[in-house]
Chain A
Amino acid sequence: MSYLIETRDITKRFGGLVAVNKVNFGVSPGEVVALLGDNGAGKSTLIKMISGVYPNDGGDILYNGEVVKIHTPIDALAAGIETIYQDLALAENLNVYSNIFLGREKTKKRLGIFHVLDHSYMYDEAVGILKKLDIKIPSLRNNVRTLSGGQRQAVAISRSIYWNAKVLIMDEPTAALGVAQQKQVLDLVNSLKDHGLAIILISHQMHDVFEVADRICVMRRGELVGNLVKKDTTTEEVVSLIVGSEAVS
């Protein structure tokens, strides 16, 4: 299976510390890969390089088999790599459709010179994408501050899908949610997979990982120490890789 997004020997240093050391990692379309590791194992740094927050110090990032330069978040977004952060990166003081269009607002011309925001277009488009993903939100004109955690998650995800995400990186998507809302998010992940997205899931919750992931990658001390197919592995094996115990054969 060919990877949609792939890293080859990618490396990141902070001063003397090697945060990510020659990691080869990849995701295919329609696949969910869980990225696991202890705090400081380097998974955040790896993700931040793929999403353009940190430029890499060595190695390459490949997109559709070709080497691409991803040095800023804008490069990543242009390539269709979207990240759903744990804090969702929503401006809570803006309404739902403004958040979906944040940074890429649709404008129209007035009098031939002035570019003004096209509120009605953005509203209609937002209604469309939420309907497509079967997400229910009371009013798109409400500030995000008034929404529940699950609804915010849905807004963040629908924003990426609207902007033609090909690769979706999700950082601890269920961490701050109640049980019912966790279920909704995992269902959403499964339906996104059916839409053909390549999904990278960072999670500490083993239950989530085993429910939705196809493959499980484990990082420790900046290196990729495990690349396992879900149906061939067990929770115990994954845990021992994360903590680095020798008990596993």
Chain B
Amino acid sequence: MKGNLNLIIEQSRLLKAIARNWAFCFLIFFVVLFSFTGKGFLSIVNFQNIVHLSVIAMFMAAAETFVIISGGIDLSVGFVMGLSSVTAGKIIQTLFNSGNYSVGVCILIGSVIALVVSLIPGLISGIMIAKFKVPPFIATLGMWGITNGIALKICEGFPVASLPDALTKIGNGYTIYFKKGSGINFFSLPEGVANNQIREYLRLIPISFIIIFIVIFVLRHILNNTTFGQHTYAIGGNEDAAIRSGINVQKHIIKIYMLSAFIAGMAGVFNVFQTGIGNFTTFGAMYELFGVAAVVIGGASLMGGKGRLLASIIGVLLIAVLENGLLISGVEPFYRYIAVGFLLILAIVIDQLFPDLF
């Protein structure tokens, strides 16, 4: 009898573990599935591609994770990213064309200024939400319009082009270049090898991996192991309790929106490195909504107090694998949207079935 009970408890624990990590289980499932259905899916090159192309989405999801855990939402991240991207692009372009500075200095100054600029929308949203009690949806929707307008003004409606080549060399570079017979090279192709021969080399660990890995590692550390992270959960769980425990909730909320905007700003700078141009964000991109989707798929609740950074990243990967796998398997790309919608709804239903998971 007692053995039976233990078995049931064990089983329910297993079930809970699966339900808690269902997104991860789905990810494994789809990887296996597409390995059979899609030719060329199961390869290091393709996997590297999937991750490389979803780095921006990972930034977005990381930003939303903090905001959503605190019980808010940030609709402006996509356009803050665009603002940061065109700001970086414009400054690098101006400095580069003036010819007075070396390429490295141009890129450094442009990136740093873009990151600082991207803090401003976060600061404003945060103050409105924390001090004036404007609902996060409205405050960040307002910022959605404002940052988009300013980004378009900066770039006058066109992407900022003719930037130094060094950008894409870093942004699309790899840590290891390998070719049978010519050995291993780190960070760049061997001297004298033309760019059109690049396909002969096996390229491993894109530099973007290292960047996003560090960013995720640091953010996860902040969320899980610091007072800042603990207070973020507390505010999302019970704002009143947080206030009465002496946490400066207003200041904390402002910091959260600044952090979110800063992460979006990093995405914008990264975007310049990846594409070699400063891009404004189009209305159709919906970065913020896909970011929210990934976070919710990762098990967070829009009511706040719940969510894990790595789970959000799994959410991004799940969407990216679906997209890539469906494409390679020859399915019309529009099914991707339906798939994301389905995953979202599944996430909510699982959340309602197992409310005590986190």
Direct contact, A vs B (beta carbon within 8 Å): yes
**Chain A residues with a Cβ under 8 A of chain B:** 53, 73-74, 77, 83, 85, 87-94, 98, 102-105, 107, 114-117, 143, 145-146
B237 touches A117 (CB 8 A): no
B230 at interface, CB cutoff 8 A: yes
Q: Contacts of A114 on B, CB cut-off 8 Å?
A: 221, 226
Given A103-B247, A145-B356, the answer on whether A117 and B225 have CB atoms closer than 8 Å is yes
Within the assembled complex, what's the spacing in Å between the Cα atoms of A116 and B242?
19
Total A-B pairs in contact (CB under 8 Å)? 73
Q: Contacts of B227 on A, CB cut-off 8 Å?
A: 105, 107, 115, 117
B247 touches A102 (CB 8 A): yes
Q: Contacts of A92 on B, CB cut-off 8 Å?
A: 237-238, 305
CB distance from A53 to the nearest CB of B (A): 8
Q: Would you list 6 pairs from A and B whose C-beta atoms are within 8 A, ordered by A residue?
A: A89-B241, A90-B238, A102-B230, A103-B246, A104-B245, A116-B225
A73 touches B246 (CB 8 A): yes
B240 at interface, CB cutoff 8 A: yes
- 11 more contacts with CB within 8 A, not counting A102-B245, A103-B231, are A73-B243, A83-B244, A89-B238, A91-B234, A93-B305, A103-B234, A103-B245, A104-B245, A105-B227, A107-B227, A117-B230
Within the assembled complex, what's the spacing in Å between the Cα atoms of A67 and B358?
46
Q: Size class of B's contact patch?
A: 20 to 34
Nearest B residue to A159, CB-CB: B245
Which residues of chain B in 171-196 are interfacial with respect to chain A, using CB atoms and an 8 Å cutoff? none
Within the assembled complex, what's the spacing in Å between the Cα atoms of A102 and B237?
12
CB distance from B71 to the nearest CB of A (A): 10
B203 at interface, CB cutoff 8 A: no
CB distance from A139 to the nearest CB of B (A): 13
Within the assembled complex, what's the spacing in Å between the Cα atoms of A94 and B233?
8
Q: Contacts of B243 on A, CB cut-off 8 Å?
A: 73
B308 at interface, CB cutoff 8 A: no
B306 at interface, CB cutoff 8 A: yes
